[in-house]
Amino acid sequence: MKLLHHPDRDAIMLPTVLHALSDPIRLQIVSQIHKDGEQACKKFEVSIAKSTFSQHVRTLREAGITHTRAVGTHRLLSLRTEDLNARFPGLLDAVLSSYESNDPNIQPT
């Protein structure tokens, strides 16, 4: 299995993070990880092709928003909350709070 690139904390750039979070599908993926914690790629309920989903996951990983770890044949996704909060305090919380409060499919916690 090939090694996946994850940027170092200091290499996470704000324009890249904002671009990655600007897509509704990627924002939905991040929100689901935020609510449910680390999970396998196959657990995401998105209405797109697997190849398109893979590209969205790659964009999030390369932006420094998510971490992907391989366990056997599965890929588990988690948020890099600590790294993002260290680089951009409050950004992820603000984006997710706004997204989740405006999405009618999400129940308040």
pLDDT at residue 5, rounded to an integer: 87
3-class SS at 67? strand
Q: What's the pLDDT band for 104 if we cut at 50, 70, 90?
A: low
Phi, psi of 87 (to 5 degrees): -80, -45
More confident residue, 56 or 109: 56
Q: Which CATH number does 9-100 carry?
A: 1.10.10.10
Contact between 88 and 14 under an 8 Å Cβ cutoff? The reply is yes
User: pTM to 2 decimals?
Assistant: 0.88
pLDDT at 29 over 80: yes
Q: What is the domain partition of the chain in residue ranges?
A: 9-100
